[in-house]
């Protein structure tokens, strides 16, 4: 089976093609970073217009890259939410048009499900697994038991982790998106230079929170001449996010061991923040020491892409009871 995937829910326009042998036949991405940079964040109107311009071109490029024709496609999958509504509408209307002209199935995919299933494309992971989904809009622990079978264990009560990276980067006058900019400066800083708070890291408080951490960084910035301590702020902030994750992973494992009848041995991290090498390494070391199998998608498939949407579409379609 060959599925075309389309992603346009935020600031990446992406088209990809995957097959049921877990091969990514094409993976086209146009990042709008340059268009949003001057505004310090994504402007929904600019994003939607850019998706309109780029999608038809990427669609053709994707077919060329995979040496396929329209008739080879078995279905058209697209992110149908959550996301910026203008971009989502562009993608959905484009996908519905292509599907109806080609008389192929249209498959609506939840963006988070795309992130959640990426490791089944790249690493053939079996269900169930425990997932930390950390992106720009979401930060939650999920027990992934099957296609369409997700149990939320905990979630952020305020900012998402990626959102905290973006906001801290903005306070430090760094480029958008904030995650990669902070990770770069953190390489030259001391991760233990500043002690930032770790909100909700206490017994019997299972949700996540990043707002207090962000405020602590703001207060430090307001009281200091930051030019000489930028690297240390980035390193300490990044380290604190990693420490919060470790604390919360421990709690999530406790909950799963208590409540899940099935043994869960695999832990997965996905979403844009999973592209952070420092965080990946800290989590990997922690989980391997605790006897867990740790899997993170390759870095280029952590941030938004259409291969994950095509793959989730393929899994959903294969699992469809009405076929
Ligand atoms: O999954 P994603 O590409 O889009 C959403 O679904 O939100 O995640 C984007 C988020 C942004 O907040 C970005 O700053 C963050 O992921 N991010 C990172 C890194 N790369 C992207 N955060 C930390 N370190 C990174 N290397
Ligand atoms: Zn995403």
Question: What tens digit of pLDDT does each residue of 65-93 get?
Answer: 999 999 999 999 999 999 999 999 999 99
Q: Could you identify the atom of ligand 1 that is nearest to the CA of residue 115?
A: 1
For ligand 1, atom 22, name the residue with the nearest CA.
179
Check whether residue 63 and residue 6 sit in a common domain: yes
Q: Which residues line the annotated binding site? A: 111, 115, 133-137, 166, 179, 183, 276, 304
Which pair of structure tokens corresponds to residue 280?
A: 């990946």
306 inside domain: no
Please state the domain count of the chain.
Answer: 2
Integer Cα distance of 69 and 60 in angstroms = 10
Q: What are the angstrom distances between the C-alpha of 254 and each of 19, 20, 243, 279? A: 37, 35, 17, 21
Cβ–ligand 1 distance for 303 under 6 Å, the answer: yes
Question: What tens digit of pLDDT does each residue of 36-70 get?
Answer: 988 988 999 999 999 999 999 999 999 999 999 99
Exposure letters 94-118 (e unless 16+ CB within 10 A, then b): bbeebbeeeebbbbebbbbbbbbbb
318 inside domain: no
Q: How far is the CA of 178 from the centre of ligand 1 (A)?
A: 8
Check whether residue 71 and residue 175 sit in a common domain: no
Q: What is the pLDDT of residue 323?
A: 64
Q: What is the pLDDT of residue 41?
A: 87
Cβ–ligand 1 distance for 82 under 6 Å, the answer: no
Contacts for 53-60: CB closer than 8 Å, 24+ residues apart:
54/13, 54/30, 55/6, 55/8, 55/13, 55/15, 55/90, 55/91, 55/94, 56/94, 58/13, 58/14, 58/15, 58/28, 58/30, 59/4, 59/6, 59/15, 59/94, 59/98
Which pair of structure tokens corresponds to residue 180?
A: 């990669």
Indicate which ligand has the atom closest to the C-alpha of 274. 1
- Give the structural domain span for 245: 125-298
With pLDDT > 70 as the criterion, what percentage of the chain qualifies?
99
Q: What is the DSSP letter of 206?
A: -
Cβ–ligand 1 distance for 137 under 6 Å, the answer: yes
Integer Cα distance of 145 and 4 in angstroms = 25
Is a pLDDT exceeding 90 seen at residue 149? yes
Residue 10: CATH number of its domain: 3.30.420.40
Integer Cα distance of 304 and 18 in angstroms = 16
Is residue 276 within 8 Å of 299, Cβ to Cβ? Answer: no
- Predicted TM-score of the model (pTM): 0.96
Q: How far is the CA of 130 from the centre of ligand 1 (A)?
A: 20
Check whether residue 134 and residue 283 sit in a common domain: yes
258 inside domain: yes
Check whether residue 27 and residue 104 sit in a common domain: yes
Check whether residue 157 and residue 261 sit in a common domain: yes
Q: What share of the chain is helix, strand, coil (3-state, %, to 5)?
A: 50, 20, 30
Check whether residue 168 and residue 95 sit in a common domain: no
316 inside domain: no
Check whether residue 70 and residue 24 sit in a common domain: yes
Check whether residue 95 and residue 37 sit in a common domain: yes
Is residue 226 within 8 Å of 233, Cβ to Cβ? Answer: yes
Check whether residue 103 and residue 134 sit in a common domain: no
25 inside domain: yes
Is a pLDDT exceeding 80 seen at residue 10? yes
Phi and psi, residue 295, nearest 5°: -135, 130
Check whether residue 86 and residue 130 sit in a common domain: no
Question: What tens digit of pLDDT does each residue of 265-319 get?
Answer: 999 999 999 999 999 999 999 999 999 999 999 999 999 999 999 999 999 999 8
307 inside domain: no
Check whether residue 45 and residue 137 sit in a common domain: no
Q: What is the pLDDT of residue 322?
A: 65
Question: What tens digit of pLDDT does each residue of 173-186 get?
Answer: 999 899 999 999 99
**Which of 109, 144, 173 delimits the end of a domain?**
109
73 inside domain: yes
pLDDT band at 263, cuts 50/70/90? Answer: confident
Tally of residues, the chain: 323
Q: How far is the CA of 131 from the centre of ligand 1 (A)?
A: 16
230 inside domain: yes
Check whether residue 63 and residue 130 sit in a common domain: no
Q: What is the pLDDT of residue 208?
A: 98
Given ligand 1 and candidates 177, 185, 238, which is best to mutate, with the most ligand atoms within 8 Å of its CB? 177
């Amino acid at each position: 089976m060959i599925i075309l995937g389309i992603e346009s829910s935020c600031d990446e326009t992406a088209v990809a093609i995957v097959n049921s042998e877990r091969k990514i036949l094409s993976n086209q991405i146009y990042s709008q970073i340059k268009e949003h940079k001057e505004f310090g964040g994504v402007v929904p109107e600019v994003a939607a217009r850019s998706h309109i311009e780029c999608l038809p071109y990427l669609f053709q490029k994707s077919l060329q890259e995979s040496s396929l024709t329209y008739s080879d496609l078995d279905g058209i999958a697209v992110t149908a939410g959550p996301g910026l509504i203008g971009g989502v509408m562009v993608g959905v209307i484009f996908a519905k048009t292509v599907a109806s002209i080609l008389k192929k199935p249209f498959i609506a995919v939840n963006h988070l499900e795309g992130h959640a299933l990426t490791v089944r494309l790249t690493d053939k992971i079996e269900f169930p697994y425990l997932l930390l989904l950390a992106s720009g809009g979401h930060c939650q622990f999920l027990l992934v038991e099957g296609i369409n079978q997700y149990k939320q264990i905990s979630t952020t009560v305020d900012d998402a982790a990626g959102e905290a990276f973006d906001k801290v980067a903005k306070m430090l006058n760094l480029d958008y998106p904030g995650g990669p900019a902070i990770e770069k400066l953190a390489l030259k800083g001391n991760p233990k230079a500043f002690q930032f708070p770790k909100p909700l890291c206490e017994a019997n408080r299972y949700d996540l929170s990043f707002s207090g951490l962000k405020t602590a960084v703001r207060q430090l910035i307001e009281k200091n001449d930051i030019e000489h301590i930028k690297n240390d702020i980035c390193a300490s902030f990044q380290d604190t996010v990693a420490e919060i994750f470790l604390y919360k992973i421990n709690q999530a494992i406790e909950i799963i061991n208590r409540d899940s009848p099935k043994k869960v041995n695999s832990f997965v991290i996905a979403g844009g923040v999973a592209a952070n090498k420092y965080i990946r390494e800290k989590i990997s070391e922690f989980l391997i020491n605790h006897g867990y199998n740790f899997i993170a998608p390759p870095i280029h498939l952590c941030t938004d892409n259409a291969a994950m949407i095509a793959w989730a579409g393929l899994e959903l379609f294969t699992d469809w009871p009405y076929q």
